[in-house]
Amino acid sequence: MKDSFDNIPETALSWHRDGLGAALATVVETWGSAPRRVGAQLVIGGDGRIEGSVSGGCVEGAVIVEALEALEAGEHRILEFGVSDDDAFAVGLACGGTIRILVEPIGTAMPEDLLAELVDARAKRIPLAYEIRLWDGTRHLLHDAYPDRMRRDQSGFEEDGDTFVAIHNPPLRLIIVGAVHIAQALVPMAKIAGYDPAIIDPREAFASDARFPGETILHDWPDEAVEKLGLDARTALVLLTHDPKLDDPALEAALRADCFYIGALGSTRTHAKREARMEAAEFTEKQIARIHGPIGLNIGAAGPAEIAVAILAQMTAVLRGVTP
């Protein structure tokens, strides 16, 4: 997964359109304990300003110099750097490694309209892959391609060693119905794991700023709230209220959508009743099987914090296509 959903492509497009000039630097390959993973990006402006990171500070200075030269030449280039053990230690790694970086000037090597299309897709939460053949600079934005890479958020080279694929997935989202104690534990854990959480509960005493400071809170009825937020393949829905009046409207919306994860709190008996209600609502057996209930991996969790760990672990396993 990308370290975070940053605005590097957006910044590059803005700087280019403002006449400053911009080049994108992307980590395309690493060996050893490289400070940043494949797909990490840095944008370099024509005046040397930067946003983002490709090495946590180890090689940025050299990348800036190369990027400014690439802007003058109007051609992409591949850079390779070794990160010494001392430099690696300075950014929190036990040992050094090697990094390859692709530098692409905007408007020449990477067409402005291609970058604009990428930025537009990101704004609309449309997942896509950016594919470039290094030997001739052929570039494409691809929808519904590289499903394994998309699921694993894994940018990298294809087997030919020349085709690099950068994955641009929307940020992960977690929608929680039920502002209960488990939600209070789950929200900060999910944020650490890269999720953007939202809490839905019409009961204002539960879903309050005091209990969830700084978080997105909706007091609408759950089906109305999930419609406002939107449900897509990068969204996990977690139902925690135990109350069918609150859980079921959101559950039905999720079963009609493409959420990658749906989990519902409750015992095996409670879940059997839930399945019966969904069957009565004319959902298919395959749709109902998408519900993870009782929610979470069976790790013997006791208490809200451990249950939250079990839920997040199960969400991760489903997202990455792993069967625990």
Residues in contact with 282: Cβ distance below 8 Å, sequence separation at least 6, in sequence order: none
CATH fold of the domain at 172-319: Rossmann fold (3.40.50)
Instruction: For residue range 280-294, list pLDDT tens digits in order.
Output: 999 999 999 999 999
Nearest in space to 254 (alpha carbons), one of 234, 272, 238, 231:
231
pTM of the entire predicted model? 0.77
CA 225 to CA 137: how far, in whole Å?
Answer: 45
Break the chain into its structural domains and give their ranges: 8-168, 172-319
Give 206-257 pLDDT, tens digit per residue: 999 999 999 999 999 999 999 999 999 899 999 999 899 999 999 999 999 9
What phi, psi does 82 have (nearest 5°)? Answer: -100, 135
Per-residue confidence (pLDDT) for residue 95, from 0 to 100: 47
How confident is the prediction along the chain (324 residues), in pLDDT tens digits per residue? Answer: 344 447 899 999 999 999 999 999 999 998 766 667 899 999 999 999 999 988 777 788 899 999 999 999 999 999 988 766 555 555 444 445 688 999 999 999 999 999 999 999 999 989 999 999 999 999 999 999 998 899 888 999 999 999 999 999 998 999 999 999 999 999 999 999 989 999 999 999 999 999 999 999 999 999 999 999 999 989 999 999 989 999 999 999 999 998 999 999 999 999 999 999 999 999 999 999 999 999 999 999 999 999 999 999 999 999 988 887
CA dist., res. 99 & res. 27, Å (int)? 7
Q: What are phi and psi of 97, to 5 degrees?
A: -170, -170
